[in-house]
Structure 1
Amino acid sequence: MGSSDNKVHPLEKPFKVFVGYDVREDLAYEVCRHSILKRSSIPVEIIPIKQSDLRSNGLYWRERGQLESTEFSFTRFLTPHLANFEGWAMFVDCDFLYLADIKELRDLIDDKYAIMCVQHDYTPKETTKMDGAVQTVYPRKNWSSMVLYNCGHPKNKVLTPELVNTQTGAFLHRFQWLEDQEIGSVPFVWNFLEGHNRVVESDPNTFPKAIHYTRGGPWFDAWKNCEFADLWLKERDEYVEASKKNVEN
């Protein structure tokens, strides 16, 4: 859990981070997980949201729709339920690479909100996604790809397995169970969209703290040369090296 130099309060509960998991992107998940843990100065518990597990546990039963490009398109909204509707927890897609301490993000939390996220305002240029899936355009696109959930907030109690399995994509991805003022904003650098957001060299506030390879990351052949590919590949090599050491030990 981060560096050993940081004194962690013994009673401090780990910050729960639920990561969307897709069997086709196992490596992306592992690298995302590695990038969070390596830089974290607080205890963090990382939990993959695996659709197969949720199905076998009776928490997820909806049929896969044609517009679902990943296995976690809808399962992400079970985050408050999986956190027992207690405290704050985060959901994040697996195609993220963290470059900063997750404590910085956690410290932005404000209890007056039901959720907090980067409130992107954009339309993707591409008509297809990473693996040929159709790129759909809708309001609040990408807002749900990284969300801080106030799991105990009364409004989030509606996110039961029944609701998540039956509601429309529009209702869920646009957070229609909430009023606008219940959605807090997080700086865009925490969900920095590769290919869309831009770094301004003279402005440190534009340097990404978490890169989101929303079009497709270097783990797909077609996106080996995307922007920031080198950072992801470096992290992957570190993860592979660390895994080997763990096996040897």
Structure 2
Amino acid sequence: MINVFIGYDPREAVAFSVLSHSIHAQATQPVSITPLMLSQLKGIYKRERHPLQSTDFSFSRFLTPYLSNYSGWSLFLDCDMLVLHDIAKLWAMRDSRYAVMVVKHTHIPREEIKFLDAPQTKYEKKNWSSVMLFNNEKCKALTTDYVNSASGLELHQFKWLEDDSLIGEIPHCWNHLVGYDEPDPDASLVHYTIGGPYFNEFKNCEHSDAWNRALDTMLQVEQRSAPSNNGKVVNSLRMQRCSVGY
């Protein structure tokens, strides 16, 4: 079983749904997807929201090893993504020498503000934590107490590891930064880090056509599989898309 945890923010609910669908649609192995919803982490996640925190899952992502009982491997993904290839190919890259595996971006944001008027922050290892393959047993430093109290830089710069030699590298195509990286029509996972096609101002961004195809396919499947509810699920998702300015 491929265990996937996806950051969840109610303002990007449609992004979460499309990402989840894109994973299942491409996968050749069974996949279990868990949304990291703060409403389901009461008593576990106790941090107050930080002024620089752009999403609900900015820090809760680091609870993934704890929620996996520090056993086996787990994959964390931001919700503002789309998977275009078989997630089993990424899963097969697990290497027991490492505690965590990431795409090692050299990412220096140009803008000061990103989607939903959230402040953009600049720091070393920016976006490394947006796709993380966790070797959970080697991530026991990520206790609930530590995740609730450590600074953002300590978490996102992997200060909870003994040293950077425990950070493995996965190919760049598995975290392609739309709007920063050179266009890549063959990307395996695209990351709408500035803002996705579900926001009106980014509706024509790179890979927006792929995201819209995934949305349309998902809605068609929902319509066919749940006729008894008179399309309520489909209409709800369409309303979510409209509510964020599509």
Normalising by structure 2, we get a TM-score of 0.90
SS in 1 for 2:117: coil
In structure 1, stretches of 5+ residues that fail to align are: 1-13, 201-205
Pairs within 5 Å for 1:15-164: 15-55=2-42, 58-153=43-138, 156-164=139-147
Shift of 1:127: 1.4
Check 1:199–1:221 CA distance in 2 against 1; reply closer, same or farther (3 A cut): closer
Preserved contact between residue 107 and residue 127 of structure 2 (Cα < 8 Å): no
Alpha-carbon distance in structure 1 between the residues aligned to 2:186 and 2:211 = 16
| In structure 2, distance between residues paired with 1:53 and 1:122 | 32
Which amino acid letter does the alignment assign opposite residue 66 of structure 1? P
Identity in percent:
44
**Number of residue equivalences:** 227
The answer on 1:233 being equivalent to 2:212 is yes
Aligned to 2:237: none
User: What root-mean-square deviation, in Å, do the aligned CA atoms of Structure 1 and Structure 2 show?
Assistant: 1.1
> What corresponds to 2:170 in structure 1?
186
SS of the residue 1:152 aligns to = helix
Contact 2:175–2:189 (Cα < 8 Å) also in 1: yes
Aligned counterpart in structure 1 of residue 202 of structure 2, from 202, 223, 231: 223
Give the ranges of 4+ consecutive aligned residues of structure 1 lying more than 3 Å apart after TM superposition.
none
The CA deviation string for residues 44-65 of structure 1, in whole angstroms up to 9 with x for no partner, is: 100000011102xx10111000
Q: Distance in 1 between matches of 2:116 and 2:183?
A: 26
Instruction: Judging by fraction of residues, say which structure has more helix.
Output: 2
Q: Secondary structure at the match of 2:69?
A: coil
Please give the alpha-carbon distance, in whole angstroms, between the structure 2 residues aligned to 1:144 and 1:244: 35
Q: Distance in 1 between matches of 2:174 and 2:74?
A: 15
Could you tell me which amino acid in structure 2 is paired with residue 36 of structure 1? I
Unaligned runs of 5+ in 2: 229-246
* Deviation, structure 1 residue 145: 0.4
8 Å contact kept, 2:183–2:206 = no
Equivalent position SS for 2:58 = coil
* Residue pair 1:130, 1:223 contacting (<8 A) in 2 also: no
Match of 1:4 in 2: none
Equivalent of 1:244, from 211, 218, 223? 223
Q: CA separation in 1, counterparts of 2:199 and 2:168?
A: 33
Aligned-partner SS, 1:243: helix
